[in-house]
Amino acid sequence: MPSDKLASDIPHGNSAGFLKYFQYDFNSGFLVFLIALPLCLGISLACGFPPIAGIFTAIIGAVVTPLISNSELTIKGPAAGLIVIAIGCVQDFGGDGMTGGWTESDIAAYRAAIAVGVVAGAIQIVFGLFRGGILGEFFPVSVVHGMLAAIGVIIIVKQIPFALGVSAGGEPMEMLREIPHYLMEANPAIAAIGVVSLLIMFLWPLMAARLGVLKKIPAPVVVLLFAVPMAMAFDLLHEHSYTLQGHKYQLSEQYLVKMPDKVFGMFNDITFPEFAVLVQPKAWKWILMFFIIGSLESVLSAKAIDLLDPWKRKTKMNRDLIAIGVGNLCASMVGGLPMISEIVRSKANIDNGARTRFANFWHGVFLLACVALIPFYLHRIPLAALAAMLIYTGYRLAHPNEFIHVYRIGKEQLAIFVTTLVVVLATDLLVGVAVGILLKMVIHLANGVSLRSLFKPYIEVQEINDDTSVILARESAVFSNWLPFRRQIEQIGLVQKRNLVIDVSGTKLIDHSVMEKLEEVQRDFEQEGLTFEVRGLNQLESFSDNVHATRKRRPKIMRRVAFTMESEHFPRIEERLPEFGASTFSVVPSKSLIRIELIVSPQTCENFLDFIRRDVLTEQNGHACVDSIEIVQHESRDA
């Protein structure tokens, strides 16, 4: 949006906006619904929940959260990023989802998981009320990306058996080793649906430039247009067998989505939590994981969508976290999945021309109408097609470009990224994130950050004039001391409406996370019509060419030159010394000889020696000695 737009031109999700932007929001809501429907079903199944659970969540996220949050363009609903936690919780309580059919054990585990979701939602509400929306500011960027990449790998590994028509389960690393076995045991008919669906998910976006108006059709919809007829051709609604190359394979509706078989049957599938499980210690482990990872992903997604918003509207993160908490509490009370602000559907919402939060509302209305009125048609969707969509989603989370991007920022960031990814795969999300954070701290300490400044920023505030202040940073500016640092920036700049200069020339280290967050803060200041400037970065050495790379103060290496010559020639040389930046030097006389000592930069040293060889040593005898020294600068501790 052009910067000269008036505030009255900015769309708002109020009663007037509902009518004014109805056409835009209604159209976008319908297109997002087409994407959300298969994804909600697929995510539910991947989580070990009934398919209808994801629909419950999306509907409640569409109807409840817009009443609380001021986030205009985010779509609230189930997300692939929480699959790992949800299925882990279900399995810990003795269920395996749809792997072996929907048994009593699966129902008990499902009810335990939604009880966990209720409590996690309540904690999110409390956290939001106490201004905990800043949670996302603490976690290092590389750790978060490593966690998401690990989630992507787990989703891929867990969904490959479903795409091939194979029953399988186990830990991610174990299933990764078993992939060749899954391929050998694949049911050809189901695998055909899965492979075709996967090819469409990958190829349709690449063909978009040649598709004309067809490119507006979302890839998941194209998958259903192919997969459903294939399922009908293979007659998956009826149990039967077929033989291929001497092997006999079974087909039945177990390979289709299980949905209510009558109009409004979805309301018969409402399930209530089993709160008795909360007395078990393991329940609180999963509550903590739902709360931390769900809140973190939601805050990060909302911030990402704010950057894409054409009108640059800013989400109030505490208010949004309360909305997510209320939505999670309500959804879990009726058997729904946990929800977050979902990035893929939110991006599609923007691309489809949405103006206000009512686009989210309309996408929920379409979901409700579809599942309530025609659930028997949804029963024809093959599980392999949904698995293919999730494999593609997992691939995007763990895209090879993520590794390349992190490497370009710095080798130490790649080490943190890969360590987090591997530990998550080998253990769980909380352990992986904790190990990633610990490694980041160890690297900071190895780079000279003192233990005391790891969590406390050392800063001094000065006023330049009536409307501008300077914050002088000392010691370090790293992810673990960023929260109090940011509060000071917001208090002085955004609250007091003052222009701000951040001087980092006195710091020993600024890490990658803070470099990115300073850029975010600069955008916040620009939206408020204020200036924000970071000075002193040129005095720190960057770990790479990337603008967000970690920067560290290196010891200043200088050259000490000691030149001995006949004293009668000293005046001629003395005249030339200022040309080489040697405005100060020491002279040590000794009989008929004189010794000059000066400290200069390496390049100046080379220039001075060239002068000596060319203009002095050709006329007289003399010799020069050169050695390298480190300049130690005094740093004030008053701050």
Classify the C-alpha dihedral 146-151-155-157 as positive or negative. positive
Report which of residues 216 and 228 the model is more confident about. 228
pLDDT at 301 over 50: yes
Average pLDDT, the chain: 89
Domain covering 451-552: architecture: 2-Layer Sandwich (3.30)
Is the pLDDT reported for residue 4 higher than 80?
A: no
Q: List, for residues 42-69, the tens digit of each pLDDT value.
A: 999 999 999 999 999 999 999 999 999 9
H or E element that contains 474: strand 468-477
Domain ranges of the chain: 11-397, 402-446, 451-552, 556-631
pLDDT tens digits for range 188-224? 999 999 999 999 999 998 887 787 777 778 899 999 9
Tell me the β-bridge partners of 243. 248
In sequence order, the 6+-apart residues with CB closer than 8 A to the CB of 171 are none
Burial class of residue 480, CB neighbours in 10 A (0-12, 13-18, 19+): buried
> Rounded to whole angstroms, what are the CA distances from 129 to 63, 71, 134, 260, 323?
21, 17, 12, 38, 11
Confidence of residue 3 (pLDDT cuts 50, 70, 90): very low
Q: With a threshold of 0.75, does the pTM exceed it? A: yes
Q: Give 214 or 292, the one with higher predicted confidence.
A: 292
Q: Name the least confident of 19-33, 127-141, 318-332.
A: 127-141
Helix (H, G, I), strand (E, B) or coil at 86: helix
Query: Which stretch of 256-265, 301-310, 377-386, 598-607 has the lowest confidence by average pLDDT?
Result: 598-607
SS3 307: helix
The pLDDT value given to residue 360: 96
**Average of per-residue pLDDT across 91-107:** 85
Residue type, 630: E
pLDDT value of position 581: 62
Structure tokens at 37: 């429907």
At 636, the pLDDT band (50, 70, 90 cuts) reads very low
Asked whether residue 486 carries a pLDDT value surpassing 80, the answer given is yes
Q: How far apart are the first and last CA of the chain?
A: 41
**Cα separation, 144 vs 151, whole angstroms:** 11
Q: What is the pLDDT of residue 208?
A: 73
CATH fold label, 556-631:
Alpha-Beta Plaits (3.30.70)
Residues 439-450: tens digit of each pLDDT: 999 999 999 899
| pLDDT digit string, tens, across residues 427-482 | 889 899 999 999 999 999 999 899 999 999 999 999 888 899 999 999 999 999 99
Locate tokens 């640092």: which residue? 485
In this structure, what token pair is assigned to residue 170?
A: 């186990």
DSSP-assigned letter for residue 583: S
φ, ψ at 601 (rounded to 5°): -75, 160
| pLDDT confidence of residue 584 | 55
Cα(587)–Cα(563) distance, integer angstroms: 10
List of E strands, 302-411: 340-342
From 253-267, 301-315, 589-603, the region with the lowest mean pLDDT? 589-603
CA distance 7 to 141: 33
| pLDDT value, residue 638 | 42
Q: What CA–CA distance (Å, rounded) separates 327 from 316?
A: 16
Cα torsion angle, 452, 453, 454, 457, sign: positive
Q: pLDDT by residue (tens digit) across 112-138?
A: 999 999 999 999 999 999 988 887 788
For residue 185, pLDDT over 50 is answered with yes
Measured distance CA(598)–CA(589) in Å, rounded: 15
pLDDT digits (tens, 9 = 90+) for 511-560: 999 999 999 999 889 988 999 999 999 888 899 999 999 999 877 777 88
Burial 22-51 (b: 16+ CB within 10 A, else e): eebbbebbebbbbbbbbbbbbbbbbbbbbb
Q: What is the pLDDT of residues 608-633, one digit of tens each?
A: 788 877 777 766 677 778 887 766 55
Q: Which among 266, 308, 363, 359 has a CA at the least distance from the CA of 35?
A: 363
Radius of gyration, CA atoms only, the chain: 31
